[in-house]
A and B are shown apart, each in its own frame.
Chain A
Amino acid sequence: MKTRCLVIGYGNPLRGDDGFGWAVADRLSEEFAGDESVRVLAAHQLTPEFAEPMSEAEQVILVDVSRDGEPGTWRVTEVVPAAEGPALGHQFEACGLLAAAREIYSACPPTLLVSAVAESFDCQETLTSCIEAIVPDVVRDIRNRIDAAKPDYSHA
């Protein structure tokens, strides 16, 4: 079965709000338990091997945090595949990973990046209250996006 949607929440859950992606992934895993067409992963960083499952998905949603903006706000942006320069560590950026999926597997699914603005990256395993508060909203938004893309078989 082709993956209807692949969600990857990424960050370091030991560094405070950097665990946002994991928190969202955990909630979505529960919501879509038993639905094999939705795949939810949590990871510390985007690494090259994610290009393969991305290439096999009809839609990809990445969940991360950033430093730029008002803490506790979040936004959804479209990821455009783009080659990264030589400044490439063990991890990929979202655009580079999508470019890798396109170049290696000839598949470039629509990909969104859900990015929340973090308040703290201190060494702790909990989110700050302002980030914790937006987890339900983000989960609902992603669920709606997945459901909206669900094939309609009612007239089949």
Chain B
Amino acid sequence: MPRQILIDPVTRIEGHSKITIDLDDAGSVQSAAFHVTQFRGFEKFCEGRPFSEMPALTGRTCGICPVSHLIASAKACDALLALEIPPVSAKLRRIMNLAQIVQSHALSFFHLSSPDLLFGMDGDPATRNIIGVAQNHPSLAKDGIALRKFGQQIIELLGGRRIHPSWVVPGGVNVPLTREQREGMLAMIPSAMDIATRTLSWFKGVLGNFKEEVDVFGNFPSMFLGLISRGPDGEALLEHYDGKLRFMDAAGNIVADDIDSADYPKYIAEAVEESSYLKSPYYRSAGYPAGIYRVGPLARLNIIDRCGTPIADAELEEYRATCGRYVLSSFQQHYARLIEIVYGIERIEQLLNEPDILDANVHAIAKPSRFEGIGVSEAPRGILMHHYKIDENGLITWVNMIIATGHNNLAMNESVKQVAKHYVRGDSLREGVLNRVEAVIRSYDPCLSCSTHAIGHMPLHIQLRDPAGGVLDEIRR
């Protein structure tokens, strides 16, 4: 008799969701899906607003990664204004974006995922949390807070506040960097780098304990999408602010390359499933759902030739020696995330030392010159797209936002299915099984606040149901 396992809601991710696992007559997993059950509708209620409000409005999509929305939105507005922002503004925006990525990755790794890595997937749920980390590994917990604080402080120094800074505006930024701010940020670099490299060393030491998870945590062929920039020899470099889109397949073949961000609709289509408010973007020419692709740290490291900073490049080389040139396991998002933290710190230091970084000319002014604008940047969880249309009065008539978690929707479904197939047997649930199903979702660090915007603190409720909806097994915590 076919049955269904329901995990509702998933914990330690941002927003509300549930997981359903359908069993066949033999009690084996037939299919699985990750459902997002909350709706917010930013794309609709922004209609009618002046386009210049969009960075501030869409930044409110999320309290965790507002900077990412601020930057993608400002870039879309730059496109509406048909202007080129002052070069130093692009560098300053880039610094803020990297600081956001560092602090977000730190939250994901240290506070959400490290309990699984430290105590094991079968660890006692009473201690498999950040307090357990603090009790048993206080230095690691302290490092996590310090690294997050590093990113937050840079955002605050640049934007005036940690959450929802209004410093990034259409046309650039509204205040130049001061010498004191620059020195303050540079002074924080060494300790942040110490933490990042120390954590990477620790992670590489424990990675061998998770061979089974590496094998079955979203380890499947898919395409990968991200931004790249070009190095001096034309090589593809790690890029988070600007650059071109690249699609790569699982074998490393370039599927589409050097795509202007404004052309994304030619390559990406969106499907909607009845069971979720989270859209399912796919590679248009491959069709749905065959056009599955992944974004985020794993994808970004797969599609590039090198990072472009010395320490991160050395780590990337070791990562590829350990995991392969094209890494398919989503478990390795943790590893990729740590390398990106290293890169972010290095790149921030490079940018702060650029000779023009204190230039006062940080804002270009223009009137709207286009009725349509697209802004794309890399958020911590993957590529982020803001697409606006305005009328002759500059009022928003249409909005499309494709969020990193949305790009990864099909891949998360596939990952849940793979984990469930491997671990779920019969009609009862064990804590370790539950956590592995959740953990594979967490490896993507999904932000459902961004993708649908739900706010709340989630309990955990899992149900195992028969085809008639009867509960066969249930776990709450």
Q: Which residues of chain A are within 8 angstroms of B60 by Cβ–Cβ distance?
A: 14
Q: Which residues of chain B are within 8 angstroms of A51 by Cβ–Cβ distance?
A: 145
Closest to B459 in A: A87
A31 to chain B, nearest CB (A): 20
A111 to chain B, nearest CB (A): 15
Partner of A91, one of B115, B128, B131, B457: B457
**Given A51-B145, A91-B457: A86 and B131 within 8 A (CB)?**
no
Partner of B64, one of A49, A90, A99, A103: A90
- How far does the alpha carbon of A7 sit from the alpha carbon of B256 in the complex, in Å? 52
CB within 8 Å of A: which of B4-28?
A: 11-14
- How far does the alpha carbon of A87 sit from the alpha carbon of B458 in the complex, in Å? 6
Q: Is the CB of B14 within 8 A of A89?
A: yes
Q: Which residues of chain A are within 8 angstroms of B128 by Cβ–Cβ distance?
A: 86
Partner of A83, one of B64, B126, B138, B152: B126
- How far does the alpha carbon of A52 sit from the alpha carbon of B153 in the complex, in Å? 14
- How far does the alpha carbon of A20 sit from the alpha carbon of B352 in the complex, in Å? 38
B264 to chain A, nearest CB (A): 28
Partner of A52, one of B12, B110, B145: B145
Q: Which residues of chain B are within 8 angstroms of A123 by Cβ–Cβ distance?
A: 45
Q: Is the CB of A104 within 8 A of B149?
A: no
- Give the size range of B's interface with the partner: 35 or more
Instruction: Flag whether B130 is at the interface (Cβ < 8 A).
Output: yes
Q: Is the CB of B138 within 8 A of A86?
A: no
CB within 8 Å of B: which of A64-85?
A: 83-85
- How far does the alpha carbon of A14 sit from the alpha carbon of B107 in the complex, in Å? 24
Chain B 107-119 interface 0/1 with A at a Cβ cutoff of 8 Å (1 = within): 1001110010000
Instruction: Flag whether B163 is at the interface (Cβ < 8 A).
Output: yes
- Give the size range of A's interface with the partner: 20 to 34
Q: Which residues of chain B are within 8 angstroms of A91 by Cβ–Cβ distance?
A: 457
Chain B 454-477 interface 0/1 with A at a Cβ cutoff of 8 Å (1 = within): 010111100000000000000001
Partner of B129, one of A15, A47, A52, A83: A83
- How far does the alpha carbon of A99 sit from the alpha carbon of B132 in the complex, in Å? 10
Q: Is the CB of B134 within 8 A of A100?
A: yes
| SS class, residues of chain A in contact with chain B | loop
- How far does the alpha carbon of A141 sit from the alpha carbon of B400 in the complex, in Å? 46
Closest to A91 in B: B457
Q: Is the CB of B135 within 8 A of A85?
A: no
Q: Is the CB of A49 within 8 A of B149?
A: yes
Q: Which residues of chain B are within 8 angstroms of A99 by Cβ–Cβ distance?
A: 131, 134
CB within 8 Å of A: which of B248-294?
A: none
Q: Is the CB of B63 within 8 A of A89?
A: no
Q: Which residues of chain A are within 8 angstroms of B163 by Cβ–Cβ distance?
A: 43-44
Q: Is the CB of A85 within 8 A of B125?
A: yes
Partner of A90, one of B14, B141, B145, B459: B14
Chain B 141-172 interface 0/1 with A at a Cβ cutoff of 8 Å (1 = within): 11011001100100000000001000000000
- How far does the alpha carbon of A135 sit from the alpha carbon of B72 in the complex, in Å? 37
Q: Is the CB of B148 within 8 A of A88?
A: no
Q: Which residues of chain B are within 8 angstroms of A88 by Cβ–Cβ distance?
A: 11-12, 111-112, 129-130
Most buried by B among A84, A86, A91, A105: A86
Instruction: Flag whether B302 is at the interface (Cβ < 8 A).
Output: no
B residues near A (Cβ < 8 Å) are: 11-14, 45, 60, 63-64, 107, 110-112, 115, 125-132, 134-135, 138, 141-142, 144-145, 148-149, 152, 163, 435, 455, 457-460, 477
19 A-B contact pairs sorted by A residue (CB < 8 Å)? A43-B163, A44-B63, A48-B148, A52-B145, A85-B125, A86-B12, A86-B125, A86-B477, A87-B458, A87-B459, A88-B111, A88-B112, A88-B130, A89-B14, A90-B107, A99-B134, A100-B141, A103-B131, A105-B142
A residues near B (Cβ < 8 Å) are: 12, 14-15, 43-45, 47-49, 51-52, 83-91, 93, 96, 99-100, 103-105, 123
Per CB-CB distance, the 4 closest pairs between chain A and chain B, nearest first, are A103-B134, A83-B131, A44-B63, A87-B11
